[in-house]
Structure 1
Amino acid sequence: MIANKLPRLSQPARMRSLADDLLLWSPLPLLLAAAAWRWQNTLAALLVGVAGFFLLTVFAWQRARRFDRQWLIRQLDAQRADMEDSTDLLFAEDARLNPLQRLQRARLQQRLAEHRTPDLRPAWSSSRIAASWIAGALAVATLVFWPARQSTTVLAPSAENLPVVAGVPRLVGQRLRITPPAYTGLPARDEASLDAKAPQGSHLRWTLHFEPQPIAADLAFHDGTRAALTRDGEDWSVARSLDKSVLYRVSPSGAEHQPAPPLHRLDAISDAPPQVKVLVPERSLSLVTPGQRNWALSFEVSDDYGVAANAQLRITLAQGEGENITFRERTLDLRGTGTGKLKRFSPQLDLAALGFSTGDDLIAQLTVADNRAPRPQTVRSPSLILRWPSDLGAESTGLEGMVKKVMPAYFRSQRQIIIDAEALLKEQRKLDTERFAARSDAIGVDQRILRLRYGQFLGEEAEGGARPPPTNDAETHDDDHAQTQAEAATQDEHDHAPASEEAKPAFGADADVLVEFGHTHDHAEAATLLDPETRATLKQALDQMWQSELHLRQGHPRQALPYAYKALGFIKQVQQATRIFLARVGPELPPIDEARRMTGDRAGLARRELPLAAKNTGIDAAPAEVWRALADSPHAAKTTELPLDALERWLRANEARVSDPLAFVSAIDAVRRDPSCIECRRDLRGLLWTVLPRPPANVLRRSDEGADGRRYLEALGQETRP
């Protein structure tokens, strides 16, 4: 029992120490709370008080932890002589004590049970507590009851020019302090006017003075929000962040029945994104020069407030040709040189390290940001291309036409046919004979479609595009062949119009025979877009496609593969063609009927009357009505009824059509405040003119040119409309 009670002997001492420290130092957080209330507000005082007492409790508890076991041993040895400086034996483990120490501990326990334990709690710090509370009370009373300081702020006189009415508060002094965002590097400034322009995100603080003092005051913004002013001595102040351009007015309480104060305007200047200029190279597409090992780039970046010190250069390496084009991207971190608002980034790219070789394209693009916080604006430069062209073959010359260097984009599907055929051969053991032949035939159809598509570039006929003349010795085709011919007609991409049943050609007419059974492809410029060498290579590819299609349609893909590979090889050669010849096509005007020239015969000519545009009614009725009502006249100042409410509703619904909506709101408010103000009405009318629809242009009536002209016009009017 004695062993269990010993650790609890220090608990009263800890509680006494905790209470003593709390009483001794409590005036300090109270004093801090009073100071926060005096210089800030009640909420700040409450937060400071709660935080102060929390910290004081933590401090007092840490001090109370000094009353531990060692302190208890020292106190028992000092205050009780019968402990014989052996109190530490009471807390020792029994296994570590020898028989003599156990005997001594038993004697000490018996003495503790027979005699009352002394009071070990420390004494109260009464004098210190009293002095602390007296000093704290005096300090708090000084803060609370000290007279409010007189305003020493220098304010500019108000420019609202409101009439002086006894007992009605009016603005007499004003100051607007503008603190731009830190990233702009602009200093804070004071404005004497309540109208200002500042960077977007600036911190604004108004300091206003009224005579007489109102009960309350606020700033009323045009979007319906309000910011309450806080009284600070003889002045009133409020702070707000400038996120967008706004209109506002100062509204003190007690002046509701007086003329409304004028609107003030705050313009938020948006941060422009950085501007990137490419200095080197001068052109976006560059060709590798012989012996070139490096690619020098140089970018100049400017910003209105500052450019980030680092930028990223994205490098894309395009390798291969045709279907085998691969892309590899990497990003390099660059550090610019120059001033904060103008930096230059000049990287040197090692072509060998990037794996740049013949036939490749190297694309570089700079990504840079400004120093706007918290969301920087990021822009990208134009893409710069360094091209290492492949070896160029002999170029054809002497052909009619314009030459345009371009890589044909049509030859892309022969490799897929080879892939499908090889995949079919791998699955041959798993498929039955009929299924294998059907899939081989389907691949053959794809080969045929591809062949027909390539044949168009040589001016060849598409199967099914035209029929041979009817003869009595024509071969009879079975249904399957007829179906194949129908499919070929579907794939013919020459856009031949189908024959109409109503306009059936007459038998024996030369022109009708050509239309029905012919297929014109003999025009030199319409038949081809390729030079002769490329056409010859493509013709060899078509011949191999014929053989590949033959074996695929017969169900022998293994025999078709060699021809398909040869066709692919020829197509690869066609891909290296560097010129496509475009025909010189002039305008094709309808022929002129010479027999009707200078006769005045207008038979069969339709009237060329232009349709009149529908009148726009209703959408701009409000601006037009107010514009007419604001017309300058001797009686304009006496006009009292203006549809300004309808104009405001129209403005809210059509803000996108107005270049400066705030100017409209300000002009409408000025006219509403003083309807007799000629200058205000003129300003609003000028703004309305910019949104009114333009009237259609009127055509001046020309002269009738005398009696002959009148007779001619009368004759035209008597004509029967077609």
Structure 2
Amino acid sequence: MSAPGNKIVTRFKRHWQLKLWIEVIMYALGLTIFTYFVFQIILFSVVVFVVAAGIMALIIKPYALNLQKVSTYIDQHLHDAEYSTGLLLIPEENLSDIAKLQQHKIITELNARLKTLKPPGHSIRGVVVMGLFVVIGFVISQFDLMRPSQKIQQSNMPSEQIVFVPTDSTQVKTKPPKVESQHVTIQYPKYTNTPSFQTSEMNIKVLEGSELSWHIKFDSAIESVTMESMGNHYPMQPVDSAYVSTSKAKSTGFYNFKFINSDGASYVSQLYSIEVIKDQIPIVEVKDIKQFTSFSFKDSKNLAFNASITDDFGVASAYIIATVSKGSGESVKFREEKLNFDTGVVVGGKRQNLSKTINLDQMKMEPGDELYFYIEVLDQKRPKPNKSRSETFFAVVKDTVSDQFAVEGTMGVDLMPDYFRSQRQLIIDTEKLLKDKPKLLSQEFKFKSNELGFDQKVLRIKYAEFMGDESEFGPAQQESEGTHEEGEQHDSEDPLAEYTHKHDTENEHNLVAEEGEGGEKEDPLHEYLHNHDDPEESTLFTQSLKSKLRQALNQMWDSELYLRLYQPEKSLTYQYKALKLIQEIKNSARIYVHRIGFDPPPIKENKRLTGKIKKVKNFRKEEELAQPALYPFIRQATLRLEQLVANKQILSESDRNLFEQARNELAIKAIEAPGKYLKTLQQLKQITEIKEIPSSTLIEVQKELFAVLPEANPNPIKKEKVASEINELLLKELEIHD
């Protein structure tokens, strides 16, 4: 029978073991993540995890923990245990009465106090070590610090050795030397932070601006070694029993080696390619923002967005170019600012996520101002960095105050008064009055409403002047002025009669015939005449503008009425309608003329209006543009190869020069696709260097050169043909019987 306190100690032991196993896993997991960042191989990372976990388990030994060790630890670190935890491991029947009492006491104390005792372990240290491994591995992966070592490891792999063939087999008297060692040292530009590395592969692909150094060592002494590239010859310098040549990678091309043996025989290698890659420009992607954003004056004017920037060798700087435009027309002003991102740019980082929040108020933007901005990024390329920029984004603060009116299309001079710009201001003041109504006394509210009604009246009268009205109320008002006493009596009866709009009495819009006019005969030509004596017709506007302006005046009448009646909320509807009509008038009055043609040269003042055209001559130029022939030497080479194959002729010096020119033309085309034409270039090189060329090689080269030539465009021409007498008789017979 087990001891009654055995479960307490066992539970503490399991907690202790779990803590130790977590520490083991943390160490192994950190090393595994580091391995994956460096080598990018999942299977290898799994193997590292298993091995690291096994080694750490042997070191920490969580499996070796036993109950005796646990009880000893509890006695040493828990005072209430009274060094009696060992009694919990002994069965109760094997204890004396005093020991049993002590055992029950310890069980009670441990149940209450054992939770406060933490088992030993270094789990926090395990988390810290794992974090360090993860950070170091991420940095190595981000900046490709292990790439050079990998390249060196790959470059040490066996590759195809350079093979030389004699240019003239008859001159070979001794055994030609062989290449003992070969390699190319590549030094990337300093801004890439990439150490130099070596490769034994002669077909190389490097970054533009890299330093290249070829190193070739022969097993016996030779006279001289030359490197040939794109028609140029570069002697290789002897250094420590080897031959070295250095160059800077500027453009894609081809090269080969040539050496002269001590007996005077020359040997040439096959062609190898140098593919130069460009340093790519940074890529900028702007997220979380629209192309065009507009804000009202009361809005929170913040532009928040994120930018994702990537570059192949790291970013040097990134910033925002913002331009604020103020004003319009000839008075527009621009202010350009350079803004930094809220998150700092990591110099040399290949992938960066930046964020920015632009506050338009801090940019000192007012209603009507516009903001244009874009992101500009520079990489670390030297001496001239690559620069890229994002698309342009726009932001504008809406202008709800100014309302300019113009009639450029119908008036030679802008005669519009300042009052034409105040209808929108009336709307703003009316809305403000309604908003402040709970704070105002009744008398103050009515006073302000009446004042707005007066402003509306002044605006209406100014518009009416452009309609040709000579008085406030038109002809009806003039008639009413003849009876002054009736007017006074009317005023005494209705104090608002002066401000109301009564269509049935004043007949403002001539909708109802006046008394005494019913018997008059209507003029059928009245609608088609423009009577300047009639104030309704004497206007500066066309008929369409006139009718819209009349409608606007009607809306102003009703707006003024409700303002006088202390009901501004009803007046707003008519004010908005009047503003809409005014906007339509403004837009319809504009005329846009697209300027075309050319500006003739200025005429001298003493020659104007003289009528003399003796020295005036027309200029006429005739030119025939002929497209140059493509690949002329390749065309000639194909014809010459046909003759050589058919007649089995020997290559002459002029033939070799022709094939040399054809090879240069093909090399220019091969830059776009080096692998496609490399074999043909090598064969042309053999034709120009080696004297004995088999016919099969000539036929294969001719076939490849034909494939390079573009298809000829059809060129139909009319040819003269001699007609025989029999054909003419036949044509006549056909015409007779047709």
Q: Fold conserved (TM > 0.5)?
A: no
| Shorter-chain TM-score tier | 0.3 to 0.5
* TM-score of the pair, normalised by structure 2: 0.41
